């Protein structure tokens, strides 16, 4: 079953992700939106499917939550 990684657009030809991987598309989209609204450089956001193991979850209360412990506003 695929997992999901937030992705960010930086202009026409640049698209980057980070180390965060979520179990659901909804979690990944919520995380991407939360980060996108605080950053000034990205021009868009989305998510990609991945086979990488899940290492984050996202909640309305805490935002990005590392499964290795604690919360983080910044990716690993």
Task: Delimit the domains of the chain by residue range.
Answer: 3-64
Burial of 40: CB neighbours in 10 Å, binned 0-12, 13-18, 19+? exposed
28's enclosing H/E stretch is helix 25-36
The confidence score (pLDDT) of residue 76 equals 39
Query: And the tokens for 52?
Result: 């990488």
- The radius of gyration of the chain's CA atoms, rounded to the nearest angstrom, is 12
Q: What is the pLDDT of residues 3-42, one digit of tens each?
A: 999 998 888 888 888 889 999 999 999 999 988 888 777 7
Task: Determine phi and psi for 34, rounding to 5 degrees.
Answer: -60, -45
Q: What is the pLDDT of residues 33-73, one digit of tens each?
A: 988 888 777 778 889 999 999 999 999 999 899 998 654 44
The confidence score (pLDDT) of residue 69 equals 63
């Amino acid at each position: 079953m695929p997992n999901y990684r937030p992705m960010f657009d930086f202009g026409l030809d640049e698209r980057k992700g980070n180390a965060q991987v979520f179990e659901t598309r909804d979690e990944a989209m919520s995380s991407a939106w939360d980060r996108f609204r605080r950053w000034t450089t990205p021009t868009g956001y989305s998510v990609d499917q991945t086979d990488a193991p899940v290492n984050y979850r996202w909640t309305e209360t805490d935002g990005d939550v590392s499964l290795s412990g604690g919360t983080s506003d910044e990716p690993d």
